[in-house]
Amino acid sequence: MRLFGKLYERVMIWSQHPHAPRYLAGLSFAESSFFPIPPDVMLAPMSLARPDKAWRFAGLTTLSSLVGGIAGYLIGMFAFELIEPLLHSAGYWDKYLLARQWFEQWGLLVIFIAGFSPIPYKIFTITAGVVGMSFLPFVIASLVGRGARFFLVAGLMVWGGERMEKTLREYIDMVGWVVILASVAGYFLLK
């Protein structure tokens, strides 16, 4: 079933749209504070389609994500009572509690790790605001973690170039199904 192949083709077309950088910036902002889809899904194909602009896209993604992270921090600091029911209903409450525990154990390092890894960064930006983490260290750790991640993604796309695009196109369906199966298995293992 070529479900992911069709989706991949569509994303490659969208990545060349004249407004794609705006959409990338919006997605990057939203993902850092409330939206579940990571910006890598746009950054990677945009960097593949336009390797001459890959570093610019990575910078845009990093800065937009940082601003979104600051919004998440402010939500945690000033409006946590409003979003607490959403954390419960969206199934993020246990992740929020785990994030609080990690802040107590590792402090600033948690923001850097969350910024770089596929862990839902928004949980950590909101939690940083709730626990009153110092703002400037939060911004610096977010900038370094998010920047390292997004520049790595863009760099891999530039480095792999046409070869990577062909390989991705060939194996995208298998990769998509493996990711879904791994996510389902991970969900049941953690539950």
Q: How many CB atoms lie within 10 A of CB 119?
A: 16
Q: What tens digit of pLDDT does each residue of 101-121 get?
A: 888 888 888 898 888 887 778
* pLDDT digit string, tens, across residues 48-72: 888 999 999 999 999 999 999 999 9
Residue linked to tokens 């997004």: 150
The string of pLDDT tens digits covering residues 168-191 is 767 767 766 776 676 666 556 555
Whether the pTM exceeds 0.85: the reply is no
Residue of 122, 97, 130 lying closest to 39 (CA atoms): 122
Under 8 Å CB-to-CB from 122, ≥6 apart: which residues?
A: 31, 32, 33, 34, 35, 68, 72
Give the C-alpha separation, 42 to 15, whole Å: 7
Residue indicated by tokens 């902002």: 29
**Contact between 144 and 112 (Cβ < 8 Å):** yes
Is pLDDT above 80 for 75? yes
Query: Helix or strand or coil: residue 17?
Result: coil
* DSSP secondary structure letters along 116-144: HSSS-HHHHHHHHHHTT--HHHHHHHHHH
